[in-house]
Amino acid sequence: MGIVNLTPDSFSDGGQHAGADAALAHARRLLDEGADMLDLGAESTRPGAVPVDDDEEWRRLEPVLRELVRWRVPLSVDTYHPRTMRAALELGVDVINDIRALRAPGALEALADSPAAGACLMHMQGEPSNMQQAPLYDDVSSEVLDFLGRRVRALRDAGVALERLCVDPGFGFGKTREHNLRLARDLPRLRGLGCAVLVGVSRKSMLAATSSQAPHERVAASLGAALACVAAGAHVVRVHDVAATRDAVRTFEAMRA
C-alpha cells in the first residue's frame, strides 16, 4: 500500500504532494514502483497534529480522487470523518482506512451502506494531539487484540462480511517504543481475528532508536521493520518507499519459500 499524503504537515513528507498535480505524479510513481493499492490521506495524524474539519479534508481530496478513480486502481482513503467516507465511497473508493476504527457517529453505517467496500480498523490510545504524552497499558498486546476484536464484531453485527475487513495494531498511535516492539512480536495473535492484518511502520519514530537517520532517510530501518511484520503474518504493509519494500519482501518470501 503506497502512501499519498495530501497534507502540509505530515511527519515525513508533509507538503511535498499537497497540490493535486504533485499528488497525482506521486501516485503514478508509486504505481510504477509496484504498489498494489494507494492510500490517500488529507489530514495529518502524526503526534501533536492539529485536527482538520471534513470540509477542508474533502477540499484537498476531491480533485485527486476524481482523477484517480479514472485510473481504475485500488484506492483507500485514510479518514475518520463519516461525510468524507460517504463522498469517497460514492466516487468509487475501495477501502476506508480509519484510525478510529469506525467509531465516529455515522462511520460504521457509511461503510455498511457500501457493500462492495472494505475497511481497515486501527487501534489508537488517545487522540493524535495527545496520544504520545503518556501511553499506558497493563498488557498492550491483549488490550489491542481485545479492542480490535470488539470492533470486528461490531462491523459483523452491522452486516459487514469478515472478508471486507482488516485490522491494524496502530504502531506509534499511543504507544511507546517498548509497546510497539511487543506488538510486533505478538502480531500473529491478530491473525486469530480471521481477517487481514495491515501494518504501518514506514519511517516512524519507533525506528529512531535503531536508526540515526531523519524520517525521510529511514528506508533501511523501514525495510527491516516491514520484513519483521511480514514474517509475523502481516498481509499488507503501508509504506512510503514502495520499490525498495517490494524488492525486499519479494526476496524475503522467495528465500523463505
**45 vs 220: CA distance, rounded Å:** 23
Specify the residue for cell string 504505481.
31
Q: Which of 175, 203, 204, 218 is catalytic?
A: 204
Phi, psi values for residue 214, rounded to 5°: -65, 160
Specify the residue for cell string 509475523.
232
Q: Are 13 and 4 in contact (CB under 8 A)?
A: no
CA distances from 64 to 69, 71, 153, 204, 236 (A): 9, 11, 33, 25, 23
Q: Are 92 and 72 in contact (CB under 8 A)?
A: no
User: Is 238 considered catalytic here?
Assistant: yes
Q: Which of 238, 246, 250, 256 is catalytic?
A: 238
Give the catalytic positions in this structure.
204, 238
